[in-house]
A and B are shown apart, each in its own frame.
Chain A
Amino acid sequence: MTESFAIDVRGMTKRFGDHTVVNGIDLQVRGGEVYGFIGPNGSGKTTFIRMLCGLLAADAGEGSCLGFDVITESDAIKRQVGYMTQRFSFYEDLSIAENLDFVARMYGVENRREAVREGIERLGLAGRQKQLAGELSGGWKQRLALAACLIHNPRLLLLDEPTAGVDPKARQEFWDQIRELARQGLTFLITTHYMDEAERCDRLAYLSYGNLLTHGTAAEVIAGAGLSNPSLEDVFIHLMDSSKDNYSL
């Protein structure tokens, strides 16, 4: 398949009741890119990602994801996407190995045992595969979730705050792994509240109250803000303050 963009959507909109949570967002993410999704709590990041993989029905919008129609072909999209949910959503009463095995079966992974074993090893979970997922610490749960998302060799990873509650060293390793996978051609859409992580993304988008306020590389976003010598964090705080005047909760 030869598409220039892994994600190419226009006008994506989601309403809950009369509350517009995602308001006509356009987004283009290139293949192999690590794309950062930034915005305050409740700005619609999770909702947008859920629409991309067919977990929520969009009220408006069109476009493609991995070359498939984002509205009508969500089953095909799901097969090639790894979605890591914001809240841990694997089975706490299954062991690490059982969770991975379940996911591998669901995606019909060939050489399932091999894939599960690799997944466990890659994450340094060897020897702990019999431990119940519910007994893992927050950081280890995140690692397990990432391993599970990768088991079916997806082409696009949608990671919703994958490093929330993870210690600095593990976060460092996490990002090294992401950059390595991106180098191999995987595309990432990652939400985060950490500025250092935002800076490690190839490009960024900033959301506020469901609107995409700015996007581009970190340098472009900083330059576009028109502040004197700001950091990325200054820019976001500035955006957050100015967008508050235009919208009310």
Chain B
Amino acid sequence: MKKRTPLSFARFWAIVIKEFVQMRRDRLTFGMIIGIPVVQLMLFGYAINGDPKHLPTAVLLADNSQQGRSILSALKNSDYFNFVRELHTEAEAEKVLARGEVQFVVTVPENFSRNLLRGEKPTILVEADATDPAATGNAIASLRTLLTSALQQDLKGPLAFLAGSDGPVNLLVHARYNPEGISQYNIVPGLMGVVLTMTMVMITGLAITRERERGTMENLLSMPTRPLEVLLGKIIPYIFVGYIQVGLILAAARYLFHIPMTGSIPLLLLTSLVFIAANLAMGITFSTLAKNQLQAVQMTFFFFLPSLLLSGFMFPFRGMPEWAQAIGEILPLTHFLRIIRGILLKGNGFEEVILQLWQIALFAVVVLAVGVKRYRRTLD
């Protein structure tokens, strides 16, 4: 049996300091740390911030009344909608939506006018192609005001009471093809997880292979070190980097995209720590497995792609096949997305968060254990 040196905090700290200094001197990495979130925010932010107008719209007018006509002409005059054509059957509506010919089908039901005038609050159905939910949000919001003002003229005098505070009609929106209804509120917080996954894994993914390729590994190994000291020492400095990114994206979310922040920000920062650590651990473990930097980069991508595709960032999680969901459940990003959306949008607290958080923590521990096991203490 080999005799082992006990773990030493001093050696761990020596590596932390060294990595910090090296990180500061590495302009390229530092640029990447700031650049990636900024570029991603610009890219996604442009799509989100854009307020698409003139969305192709078809109308199914089952009630050819004066009120129905008012709605139709109001739609035609609106900036948000571009009236394409009138439909006559449900099947037709189905077809134009499926083909992507229109973004919306607005259905004015039979007896609309009669029910309206009786004060029964008839329902107007809006079927929205929500595959690009960012496109539909503002338009739908404007539809409510549009309907109210279109019907205003008809609801004068004794009927004025119908145009009450919550409008004369019910608006029923069916978000088609996108049951979770991912919106811009979903994307920007999710972006935080995506950016962290991408940069954190990449940064530490190169950590060990870089030492090997520069020849400094020989020196490091000739000193009495334990793998855990080296691996943790290389992880810690980048936690700060992760927090720089978290700060950047949170600021952008708040001031650029006006994302509601319902829940506790300290709680979010705490959970971010676990998530950042998990990704750094993944990277450092790749680094111990990879023979050279190219392999490390390839492994990073093999991790990043499923994270992007199967976590629920790109596609609604519940819409994926079961095998894909099973893979997704392993990935830290999946759980982090639920946490961050939960905290920011739903105002979730610790009890809800912990259900996801322990799974990220478990991932980190398992992955780091693999890294420690695979860390080669000789040059063989």
* A residues neighboring B (CB under 8 Å): 50, 53-57, 72-76, 78-79, 81, 83, 85, 87-94, 98, 101-103, 105-108, 132
* B residues neighboring A (CB under 8 Å): 1-5, 8, 10-11, 13-15, 17-18, 21-22, 25-26, 214-219, 221-225, 377-380
- Whether B10 lies near A108 (C-beta < 8 A) is yes
Give the distance to chain B from A83, nearest Cβ to Cβ, in Å.
4
- Whether A89 lies near B218 (C-beta < 8 A) is yes
Q: A56-B380, A93-B25 are in contact. List 9 more A-B contacts (CB 8 A).
A: A50-B218, A54-B378, A85-B218, A85-B219, A89-B215, A89-B217, A93-B21, A94-B21, A106-B14
Interface of A is mostly: loop
- Whether A53 lies near B379 (C-beta < 8 A) is no
Complex: A83 Cα to B221 Cα, angstroms: 10
- Whether A53 lies near B5 (C-beta < 8 A) is no
Complex: A232 Cα to B246 Cα, angstroms: 67
- Given A102-B14, A103-B223, also A91-B216 (CB < 8 A): yes
- Given A55-B378, A75-B3, A105-B10, also A89-B223 (CB < 8 A): no
- Given A55-B222, A89-B219, also A102-B17 (CB < 8 A): yes
Nearest-CB residue, chain B, relative to A107? B223
Q: What chain B residues lie within 8 Å of A102 (beta carbons)?
A: 14, 17-18
Q: What chain B residues lie within 8 Å of A89 (beta carbons)?
A: 215-219
Instruction: Point out the residue from A56, A88, A98 that lies within 8 Å of B379, measured CB to CB.
Output: A56
Complex: A93 Cα to B26 Cα, angstroms: 8
- Whether B21 lies near A98 (C-beta < 8 A) is yes
- Whether A106 lies near B216 (C-beta < 8 A) is no
Complex: A79 Cα to B224 Cα, angstroms: 6
Nearest-CB residue, chain B, relative to A69? B3
Complex: A102 Cα to B15 Cα, angstroms: 8
- Whether A76 lies near B218 (C-beta < 8 A) is no
- Whether A85 lies near B215 (C-beta < 8 A) is yes
- Given A76-B3, A89-B216, A102-B14, also A108-B8 (CB < 8 A): yes
Q: What chain A residues lie within 8 Å of B2 (beta carbons)?
A: 72-75
Nearest-CB residue, chain B, relative to A89? B219
- Whether B225 lies near A106 (C-beta < 8 A) is yes
Give 23 pairs: A residue, B residue, CB < 8 Å, sorted on A.
A54-B377, A54-B378, A55-B222, A56-B379, A73-B2, A75-B2, A75-B224, A76-B3, A79-B5, A88-B215, A89-B218, A90-B219, A91-B18, A92-B214, A93-B21, A93-B22, A94-B18, A102-B18, A103-B223, A107-B223, A107-B224, A108-B8, A132-B25
Q: Which 4 A-B pairs have the closest CB atoms?
A: A105-B14, A89-B219, A83-B222, A78-B224
Complex: A105 Cα to B9 Cα, angstroms: 10
Complex: A72 Cα to B219 Cα, angstroms: 20
- Whether A98 lies near B219 (C-beta < 8 A) is no
Q: What chain A residues lie within 8 Å of B219 (beta carbons)?
A: 83, 85, 89-90
Q: What chain B residues lie within 8 Å of A101 (beta carbons)?
A: 17
Q: What chain B residues lie within 8 Å of A93 (beta carbons)?
A: 21-22, 25-26
Q: What chain B residues lie within 8 Å of A107 (beta carbons)?
A: 223-224
- Whether A98 lies near B18 (C-beta < 8 A) is yes
Instruction: Point out the residue from B13, B14, B26, B215 that lies within 8 Å of A87, measured CB to CB.
Output: B215
Q: What chain A residues lie within 8 Å of B13 (beta carbons)?
A: 105
Q: What chain A residues lie within 8 Å of B380 (beta carbons)?
A: 56-57
Give the distance to chain A from B313, nearest Cβ to Cβ, in Å.
35
Q: What chain A residues lie within 8 Å of B1 (beta carbons)?
A: 72
Complex: A90 Cα to B26 Cα, angstroms: 16
Q: Select the residue from A88, A92, A93, A101 with max chain B CB neighbours within 10 A.
A: A93
Q: What chain B residues lie within 8 Å of A75 (beta carbons)?
A: 2-5, 224
- Whether A50 lies near B379 (C-beta < 8 A) is yes
Complex: A81 Cα to B223 Cα, angstroms: 9
Nearest-CB residue, chain B, relative to A85? B218
Nearest-CB residue, chain B, relative to A53? B222
Instruction: Point out the residue from A55, A92, A103, A106 that lies within 8 Å of B218, measured CB to CB.
Output: A55
- Whether B22 lies near A91 (C-beta < 8 A) is yes
Complex: A94 Cα to B20 Cα, angstroms: 10
Nearest-CB residue, chain B, relative to A91? B216
Q: What chain B residues lie within 8 Å of A74 (beta carbons)?
A: 2
Complex: A94 Cα to B22 Cα, angstroms: 7
Give the distance to chain A from B218, nearest Cβ to Cβ, in Å.
5
Complex: A198 Cα to B106 Cα, angstroms: 95
- Whether B223 lies near A106 (C-beta < 8 A) is yes
Complex: A187 Cα to B29 Cα, angstroms: 43
Complex: A78 Cα to B21 Cα, angstroms: 25
Q: What chain A residues lie within 8 Å of B221 (beta carbons)?
A: 55
Complex: A41 Cα to B169 Cα, angstroms: 91
Complex: A87 Cα to B217 Cα, angstroms: 11
- Given A75-B5, A93-B26, A108-B10, also A55-B379 (CB < 8 A): yes
Complex: A54 Cα to B25 Cα, angstroms: 32
Q: What chain A residues lie within 8 Å of B5 (beta carbons)?
A: 75, 79
- Given A55-B379, A57-B380, A78-B224, also A105-B215 (CB < 8 A): no
